[in-house]
Chains A and B, each alone.
Chain A
Amino acid sequence: MPPVLMALEAMGTRFEAVLVGEDEFALRSAGEAAFEEIRSLHARLSAFEQGSVVSLLNQRAAAGPVRVAGDVFGLLSLCRGVWEASGGAFDPTVGPLMRLWGFRQRGGEDWNPPTDAEVEAARARVGMNLVQLDAESWSVRFSRPGVAVDFGAVAKGYALDMCAEVLRERGVACAFVHGGTSSISAIGAPPGAAGWVVEVKSPIEGVGSKRVSLRDESMSVSAPHGREVMVRGERLGHVIDPRTGRPARGAALAAVVSRSGALADAWSTAGLVLGGGADRLPEGMRMMVLSQGGVWEG
């Protein structure tokens, strides 16, 4: 039987699924349930949806503790863990700096960058140390007004984790799902193959791509290409280094493979900012980094 192909527009991108099995209707039903989970997470985790739990946190958590559902608390805890392990290279509170640099508003026009004072003022509202997580009550409180969380760098990976969980619960043993081609979840392997083979293309002309085989794993790829701004003639990527408050100049691309899509997402962002950082990864994860000079590592 040919695989069932499905697609969904959510989280500002296109999710696609390839589901392999014998019962087309069972596969389709499982895929719909899995996509329903992604839709739900889009509505809950988007910082741009007025009714999301993230919007509620950003409105209220500076005024007092806000209780959240266990999965949201868990995701915040995961973010804090990566923030600590990466030395702040990954930070879901980086929004004020993103807005300051105009990556969400500006196109390719040339413009003057923010001043040092503006950067410092924005940085004062950035950092997971400003987000207090109370594990006893699953409540969240921001240390000062203006702090905001944004799961944009982990939401797709997390959604794919939940999507894969639903597919497995419904008996799907062979599937490949991606969100915008940058976040991937692979269940099992295609018939006769050791794994799902993914090609990671280099954004640098003349540099070859990398092939990665995935089996019951997730992969995330971060690269600043395609979303850039011109600042005084210099092309800058859309990823901010939260430690400096300025556009990251670490790597040209970072890809991370993990059992967890959320961790893969978070660490690929950290890897891009750090220009590496494989030595900081938790056990069982692996990272590939393409340096600005066009050399693959890992």
Chain B
Amino acid sequence: MGARLGIANGVHSDTRGTIMAIDRREFLVRAAGAAAAVALVPEAFPAAVRARNGPVSVGVIGCGRQGRKIAIEMLDKMGEGARVAALCDPVDRLTQNLLGRAKGAAAFANHKEMLDKAKDVQAVIIATPTHTHKDIALDCIAAGKHVYCEAPLAHTPEDCLAISKAARGAKAVFAAACEGRSNPIYNLARSFFKTDAVRTVVGMYAQDHRKSSWGRSGDWWLDPSVSTGLAGESGVQQFDVMHWFRGTYPVEVNGRGAIRLYEDGRQVADSVRATLRWADDTELTYSASLCNSFGGKHETFYGVNAAMKLAWTHGWMFKEADSPQMGFEVYANRQSFHNDEGITLIADATKLASQGKLKEGVGLPNPSHYYAVNDFIAAVAEGKEVKCSASEGARATIVALLTNEAVKGAKTVAIDAEMLKGA
């Protein structure tokens, strides 16, 4: 403890993706600042950007499932900060569906046409199939647009590196859609994590379990030539949380997968398991399944003082009986899970408790992509910090892609620290 951390056993990066080593003392100082900065009042839209110079004009590239979700979130709640000005998709039905919701938006069949004709577009959301991200991202960066790119950033490590290199050279904002970094509960949890509430991590677990076919044979994410699998499309968000909390990356991954339910001709596993090992021999057990929804999506850190379970809209800390008191336990909201009692992680709990509104703060009112997109708009409109840089997004994606490779080959794959460093 206390030694300066290197790439092999500990990496911290700033939001521009610069890797730097920091010591534990600095961690604690930063964490104290972070804890003080966290504030969530029980209003549903605490951080909605109100752009001083009028709403940021946004082009949504890719109007399928994710692009549509983001566009609707902007249309519903971010009117003062963002205006959906352009919609791009080769499938006319998808753009038409959103055109009826977005006042004054223009529709385009592809991003090149949009970049050519919609000169008022300042920022773009890239929510196209993963394997198409790179070309679109490079074109948008070259055109000087602010870019929010869905994660995984790309379907190959090479494409990830190309995107992060281009983003580093850009003057405009580039944000990777690793949503945990914008999530108010995750930010609060991380501030506790960094102040040793969990203390030494002895293990990690992440799962994404749902009952869903995930589309049908023919959908691009089920095409084995371009699919990043469950580990890529979903795991990337969870792996990034682990990286962000720990400031380090795994060095090796072992995985396997199977088709257990959806025998519709697909070749992409509907159930996967993987173990990601860190240099300190701690392991993340990862499970994703489309066959059963029990437990949903969450990540858990197991430490000698406490376990911390994060489930995107909710979070809990389960303290060991012999762990030191932290001061807030007296007013903490608690929930029982069989034999365990969790302290609900509520941002700005002290203030809410003093107002007798603690329970109103339980759970997030918005989906996690709301906070991530809102942070992106804040970075564009107000020059605020980018929560996940292209470099961090690329690293999380590379880890996810290598996990998918391990799953597909039922093998162990080394995670090259030099490659991560180059992102």
Residues in chain A within 8 A of chain B (CB atoms) = 25-26, 28-29, 32, 36, 40, 43-44, 49-53, 55-56, 59, 66-72, 74, 137-138, 169
Per the bound structure, the CA–CA distance linking A56 and B262 in Å amounts to 40
- A51 adjacent to B69 (CB under 8 Å): no
B212 interface hit (Cβ, 8 Å): yes
Residues of B within 8 A of A36 (CB): 65
Q: Which listed residue, B212, B213, B217, B366, touches A51 by the CB 8 Å rule?
A: B366
Per the bound structure, the CA–CA distance linking A192 and B75 in Å amounts to 44
Per the bound structure, the CA–CA distance linking A50 and B45 in Å amounts to 9
Residues of B within 8 A of A67 (CB): 79, 103
Residues of B within 8 A of A74 (CB): 100
Q: Which listed residue, B43, B76, B262, touches A59 by the CB 8 Å rule?
A: B43
Per the bound structure, the CA–CA distance linking A67 and B75 in Å amounts to 8
B216 interface hit (Cβ, 8 Å): yes
Per the bound structure, the CA–CA distance linking A52 and B102 in Å amounts to 18
Per the bound structure, the CA–CA distance linking A51 and B100 in Å amounts to 22
Per the bound structure, the CA–CA distance linking A66 and B45 in Å amounts to 14
Residues of A within 8 A of B213 (CB): 25, 28-29, 32
- B44 adjacent to A59 (CB under 8 Å): yes
Extra inter-chain contacts (9) besides given A53-B77, A69-B75, A71-B100, CB under 8 Å: A26-B216, A43-B367, A52-B44, A56-B44, A59-B44, A69-B101, A70-B100, A70-B101, A70-B102
Residues of A within 8 A of B42 (CB): 50
Residues of A within 8 A of B264 (CB): 25
B286 interface hit (Cβ, 8 Å): no
Within the complex, the shortest CB–CB distance from B270 to chain A, in Å, comes to 12
Closest to B103 in A: A138
Closest to B364 in A: A51
Within the complex, the shortest CB–CB distance from A257 to chain B, in Å, comes to 25
A-B contact pairs, 19 of them (CB 8 A): A25-B262, A32-B212, A32-B213, A40-B72, A50-B42, A50-B44, A50-B365, A51-B77, A53-B76, A55-B44, A56-B76, A66-B79, A68-B75, A68-B76, A69-B75, A69-B101, A70-B102, A74-B100, A169-B93
Chain B 122-159 per-residue mask, 1 if CB under 8 angstroms from chain A, else 0: 00000000000000000000000000000000000000
Closest to A32 in B: B212
Contact of A69 with B76 at beta-carbon distance under 8 Å, contacts A51-B44, A51-B366, A51-B370 already known:
yes
Within the complex, the shortest CB–CB distance from A43 to chain B, in Å, comes to 7
Per the bound structure, the CA–CA distance linking A59 and B41 in Å amounts to 14
Per the bound structure, the CA–CA distance linking A159 and B42 in Å amounts to 28
Chain B 199-236 per-residue mask, 1 if CB under 8 angstroms from chain A, else 0: 00000000000001101110000000000000000000
Residues of A within 8 A of B364 (CB): 51
Closest to B84 in A: A69
Within the complex, the shortest CB–CB distance from A212 to chain B, in Å, comes to 31
Q: Which listed residue, A29, A70, A169, touches B215 by the CB 8 Å rule?
A: A29
- B76 adjacent to A70 (CB under 8 Å): no
Residues of B within 8 A of A70 (CB): 75, 100-103
Chain B 34-49 per-residue mask, 1 if CB under 8 angstroms from chain A, else 0: 0000000011110000
Q: Interface size class for chain B? A: 20 to 34
- B101 adjacent to A51 (CB under 8 Å): no
If over half of A's interface residues share one DSSP class (helix, strand or loop), that class is named, otherwise mixed; here it is helix
- B216 adjacent to A56 (CB under 8 Å): no
Which of B43, B79, B264, B367 has the most chain A CB atoms closer than 10 A to its own CB? Answer: B79
- B101 adjacent to A71 (CB under 8 Å): yes
Per the bound structure, the CA–CA distance linking A28 and B290 in Å amounts to 13
Q: Which listed residue, A28, A56, A69, touches B72 by the CB 8 Å rule?
A: A69
Per the bound structure, the CA–CA distance linking A137 and B104 in Å amounts to 9
Per the bound structure, the CA–CA distance linking A279 and B182 in Å amounts to 54
Residues of A within 8 A of B44 (CB): 50-52, 55-56, 59
Chain B 257-287 per-residue mask, 1 if CB under 8 angstroms from chain A, else 0: 0000010100000000000000000000000
Residues of A within 8 A of B101 (CB): 69-71
- B216 adjacent to A69 (CB under 8 Å): no
Chain B 49-61 per-residue mask, 1 if CB under 8 angstroms from chain A, else 0: 0000000000000
Residues of A within 8 A of B217 (CB): 25
Per the bound structure, the CA–CA distance linking A67 and B370 in Å amounts to 17
Within the complex, the shortest CB–CB distance from B337 to chain A, in Å, comes to 21
Closest to B80 in A: A67
Residues of A within 8 A of B212 (CB): 32
Per the bound structure, the CA–CA distance linking A56 and B76 in Å amounts to 9
Residues of A within 8 A of B65 (CB): 36
Per the bound structure, the CA–CA distance linking A187 and B320 in Å amounts to 56
Chain B 407-421 per-residue mask, 1 if CB under 8 angstroms from chain A, else 0: 000000000000000
Residues of A within 8 A of B215 (CB): 29
Residues of B within 8 A of A68 (CB): 75-76, 79
Residues of A within 8 A of B75 (CB): 68-70
Closest to B217 in A: A25
Within the complex, the shortest CB–CB distance from B183 to chain A, in Å, comes to 13
Contact of A72 with B262 at beta-carbon distance under 8 Å, contacts A32-B212, A40-B69, A59-B43 already known:
no
Within the complex, the shortest CB–CB distance from A7 to chain B, in Å, comes to 11
Per the bound structure, the CA–CA distance linking A137 and B101 in Å amounts to 12
Per the bound structure, the CA–CA distance linking A137 and B77 in Å amounts to 15
Within the complex, the shortest CB–CB distance from A137 to chain B, in Å, comes to 7
Per the bound structure, the CA–CA distance linking A45 and B367 in Å amounts to 14
Residues of B within 8 A of A137 (CB): 103
- A69 adjacent to B367 (CB under 8 Å): no
Closest to B65 in A: A36
Per the bound structure, the CA–CA distance linking A53 and B100 in Å amounts to 17
Per the bound structure, the CA–CA distance linking A49 and B45 in Å amounts to 12
- A51 adjacent to B93 (CB under 8 Å): no
- B216 adjacent to A29 (CB under 8 Å): yes
- B365 adjacent to A51 (CB under 8 Å): yes
Closest to B216 in A: A29
**Which B residues from 63 to 84 make CB contacts under 8 A with A?**
65, 69, 72, 75-77, 79
Within the complex, the shortest CB–CB distance from B392 to chain A, in Å, comes to 26
Per the bound structure, the CA–CA distance linking A44 and B69 in Å amounts to 11
Residues of B within 8 A of A69 (CB): 72, 75-76, 101-102
Per the bound structure, the CA–CA distance linking A55 and B45 in Å amounts to 10
**Which B residues from 348 to 379 make CB contacts under 8 A with A?**
364-367, 370
Per the bound structure, the CA–CA distance linking A56 and B73 in Å amounts to 12
Per the bound structure, the CA–CA distance linking A68 and B43 in Å amounts to 19
